[in-house]
């Protein structure tokens, strides 16, 4: 496998495998449904402020991502296919392929969570364009960080507990910015009004993506 086509093949392999087994998809759907239902029952008929709803939205997305995106490389170790993957593609192509798979999975997850928040929690978005831009940038940064963290914990013994421990301090700047930006967008703020937060999200994604691509070969071949 050569060039970017290797990354596409890895992406297709993971996507076909998940659509066939549906292990992660089913687990994420159940987690999201149960979590949002519990939140709805907890607040009852009370009107929840958008500030709180935006925070809850990204908390649900973060923990759902912990259960889904963290298994990107773990399943290669569980199936003992990581060595074959090392022989068939360059580290950069492997990272990009896994990143693309996580990106698709995360976007699908985010859309489902937001639609459920709108339907169940009466979440209103007054500026859809601004909110979508925030969602795309926040999702991109979340996936980049999650993919490289997943590669670090793949060979660890306590994989389930290690991912949240490593990811939270790394993702904290992203989460703070994306929560504030999505809150402003839900109140109707324009792209210009949230340009500062958007620049933080873009800068975060560029720094993490560049660092991940440069260091992934050392992580993967260790």
Select from 64, 182, 48, 61 the least CA-distant residue to 122. Answer: 48
Out of 52-56, 100-104, 116-120, 149-153, which region has the weakest mean confidence (pLDDT)?
Answer: 149-153
Helix, strand, coil fractions of the chain, as percent rounded to 5: 85, 0, 15
Containing structural domain, residue 148:
4-221
CA contacts within 13 A on the Cβ side of 95: 25
What's the average model confidence in pLDDT over 170-191?
A: 93
pLDDT value, residue 56: 92
Residues 6+ apart with CB under 8 A from 141: 171, 174, 178, 201, 204, 205, 208
Contact 140, 100 (CB under 8 A): no
If one counts the domains in the chain, the total is 1
- Residue 55 sits at the vertex; the CA angle it makes with 50 and 57, to the nearest 5 degrees, is 90
Model confidence, pTM:
0.89
For 84-126, how does the pLDDT look when each residue is reduced to its tens digit (9 = 90+)?
Answer: 888 788 888 889 999 999 999 999 999 999 999 999 988 999 9
Check if the beta carbon of residue 65 is closer than 8 Å to that of residue 106: yes
pLDDT band at 133 (very low <50, low <70, confident <90, very high): very high
The top-scoring range by mean pLDDT among 47-61, 130-144, 161-175 is: 130-144
């Amino acid at each position: 496998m050569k060039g970017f086509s290797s990354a596409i093949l890895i992406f297709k392999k993971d996507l076909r495998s998940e659509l066939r087994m549906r292990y992660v998809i089913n687990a994420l759907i159940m987690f999201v449904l149960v979590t949002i239902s519990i939140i709805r029952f907890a607040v009852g008929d009370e009107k929840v402020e958008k500030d709180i709803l935006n925070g809850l939205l990204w908390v649900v997305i973060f923990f759902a991502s912990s259960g889904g995106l963290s298994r990107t490389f773990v399943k290669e170790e569980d199936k003992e296919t990581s060595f074959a993957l090392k022989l068939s593609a360059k580290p950069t192509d492997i990272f990009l392929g896994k990143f693309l798979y996580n990106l698709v999975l995360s976007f699908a997850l985010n859309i489902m969570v937001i639609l459920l928040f709108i339907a169940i929690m009466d979440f209103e978005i007054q500026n859809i364009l601004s909110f979508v831009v925030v969602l795309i940038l926040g999702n991109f940064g979340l996936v980049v960080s999650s993919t490289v963290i997943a590669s670090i914990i793949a060979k660890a013994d306590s994989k389930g507990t290690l991912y949240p421990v490593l990811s939270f301090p790394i993702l904290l700047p992203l989460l703070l910015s994306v929560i504030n930006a999505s809150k402003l967008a839900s109140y109707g703020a324009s792209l210009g009004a949230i340009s500062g937060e958007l620049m933080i999200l873009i800068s975060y994604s560029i720094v993490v993506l560049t660092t991940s691509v440069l260091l992934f070969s050392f992580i993967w071949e260790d």
